[in-house]
Chains A and B, each alone.
Chain A
Amino acid sequence: DSGVTQTPKHLITATGQRVTLRCSPRSGDLSVYWYQQSLDQGLQFLIQYYNGEERAKGNILERFSAQQFPDLHSELNLSSLELGDSALYFCASSEQGWFTEAFFGQGTRLTVV
């Protein structure tokens, strides 16, 4: 167990809908990272928050947004969902704004039908 908790584990929704994925980092970690993993793209960095502020941004779609709350948990919001958004979404956390090692959660499997 990495100590990073993601909910829900599975999510099935229809095209055009909006979903929210939640991540609780390890105790003491200030940074949260979001990654998307699909079969053809591999693990792709989406966005990083450090102590509530956006720190780094990847190729995150405009339909996607994230935030980190004062208690350091984070949410990834996906809207106007398309079939191609079906993927595993992972959250990772680290103590600092960059890291010597990062710990990943077990992921949320999103299926858009």
Chain B
Amino acid sequence: EDQVTQSPEALRLQEGESSSLNCSYTVSGLRGLFWYRQDPGKGPEFLFTLYSAGEEKEKERLKATLTKKESFLHITAPKPEDSATYLCAVQMIYNQGGKLIFGQGTELSVKP
């Protein structure tokens, strides 16, 4: 069964304290892995797409990496405005469409 698991469920950091979020996946064939940010009551906001093992992408304080079994979202020197739920999702090759399977998310809280 295709599955996406994120850890930890919740993460509390002090401002400036770097850390990483994990997304492990079990799918038959990966087309792409997506990271989204979601603020309470809002729609998910696209961050990154990764396609192959070894690929890395960066945006401001965020860096996403991909291996054959998992992806990491590294947050460097976070600020309170980085507080949100971070969602990981996968899209499979055999799907005819663009269906995403989402993980449950990691709720990040950054305190000043």
Contacts and interface: CB of A to CB of B under 8 A. Distances in A.
B98 A97 contact: yes
Nearest to B44: A104
Given A90-B43, A102-B46, A103-B46, A42 B97 contact: no
A21 B87 CA distance: 24
B25 interface: no
Nearest to A45: B99
A75 B34 CA distance: 26
Contact of A48 (B46, B98, B105): B98
Contacts of B100: 33, 43, 45, 102
Contacts of B89: 43
Interface size on A, as a range, is 20 to 34
Contacts of B87: 43
Interface in B53-112: 87, 89, 91, 95-105
Contact of B102 (A43, A99, A101, A105): A43
Interface string B13-55: 0000000000000000001101010000111111001000000
Interface residues of B, number: 25
A55 interface: yes
A50 B49 CA distance: 21
B32 A100 contact: yes
Contacts of B31: 98
A17 interface: no
B49 A100 contact: yes
A96 B96 CA distance: 11
B44 A48 contact: no
Given A42-B104, A45-B99, A56-B95, A104 B45 contact: yes
A56 B94 CA distance: 11
A113 B98 CA distance: 33
A16 B89 CA distance: 33
Nearest to B4: A42
Nearest to A50: B97
Contacts of B103: 42
